[in-house]
Amino acid sequence: MTVPIILYGSPLLRSLSTEVTEKDNIIRIYEVLIATLKDHEGIGLAAPQTGLLKRAFVIDTCPIAEQDPSIDKFEGIFINPVIIDRSSEEISYREGCLSIPEIFEEVDRPDRILVRYQDMAFNRHEEELDGIKARIFQHEFDHLDGILFTDKINLIKRKMLAGKLNRIRKLSKTQKVQPYADLI
């Protein structure tokens, strides 16, 4: 089952997400997130982007790994993630977002991060991520706290994007959001 992706301008994208608990149907959350991500041909999708304010996101590097064999293929969900530590070295990379279509900008982020998260069985994991997986993780993690990649670009570039962002904001006002929380 796929659901619409919430567009820039919706207050849902600026909201804080709550922890996923064992009472939540994590299998359904995963199925909805991964199906929606694949349908929109993305590489990362956070639950708030689908209207569900829960601390979970999925990553699927397969689409970019096919273009660049140096990237490891990975598909999975991160539940209640935490960034424990970040490297001081930052790397610039051109990012986009399914909630902010057709806008791509350079964003500086730490190249390496140490993270903790739970899997679908609520087992805890601690892992060091680097490269594209660290990049996607940080981008999606930000969504859980209501932060968008456009918040991380310089003010001049943001002002230059104002017209495009306003067009997306207008579209978001016509968007009918149907929470799928009753399915979870």
- Burial of residue 66, with CB atoms counted within 10 A of its CB: 0-12 exposed, 13-18 middle, 19 or more buried: exposed
Q: Which of 95, 106, 126, 140 is catalytic?
A: 140
**Whole-angstrom Cα distance, residue 116 to residue 96?**
25
Spatial contact of 140 and 44, defined as CB atoms under 8 Å apart: yes
How far apart, in Å, are the Cα atoms of 174 and each of 6, 9, 135, 170, 177? Answer: 11, 11, 31, 7, 9
Residue 89, both tokens? 């070295």
**Whole-angstrom Cα distance, residue 71 to residue 132?**
8
Residue 140 appears among annotated catalytic residues: yes
DSSP state of 6: P
Q: Which residues are catalytic?
A: 140
